[in-house]
Structure 1
């Protein structure tokens, strides 16, 4: 199963960290470092470019879309898809950034690393949220994958001069 394929629709217990809980300022600044914009979507409005729908973040071109109820892990994952792409490919992105397992792995790794850049988030919280949401890794958890099975993702990011 793909690492970002949810096993269940969302987090029924509501335990994952949401963008509204940390605000949009720090995520917007983080995305800006990579030439991306964060667009806040009004409550209840559909999120443009969302692959999964509901509260999941969306991507179109150089913009990541999120609402207050968007999980932080979703925002970082979709941003990661754009970050791992060469800037010249970003304008063509609408909703689905890649079908490459290599890029998907790099995106999952990068979202964990970028979590350390957001106050009140951090990689431990993000990995716990990924597990709660239903990300599926062959070692059983995001943390086990990140620490023991993600060398290919780390190498991918390192080769492109991205955080790893």
Structure 2
């Protein structure tokens, strides 16, 4: 078989016709490989915006008042060990692992953080009482974000 322009054109048409990615032919010591070029994909990553609650007193934002209120709780915090989506229960419709006022023991699951389709349980590191849940269910958290106020 002789490899000529007609043969090359026929192979190229077969790539499209049969939705192939590559066709190879060898004849008389000559090897021809025709590959379909894959289009480049432009993937855009969008960083979710963090919503910062604000308190308005006399028409003026008082962000410091929120931080003061948290400090007045006189609590310790359980923080996010990784970036991901915060979930209060194991599945939609299931009861939350903990609620405000729940007393937990070391190793008890407090929430789940989903990262790259993996569900990671966040567990209590000591016996404590949940004073406040600081993140809404389904919100994105960063490593180090405060999840629970405990005492």
**Which one has a larger percent helix, Structure 1 or Structure 2?**
1
**Which one has a larger percent strand, Structure 1 or Structure 2?**
2
**Bigger Rg over Cα:** 2
State the TM-score, normalizing by the size of structure 1: 0.21
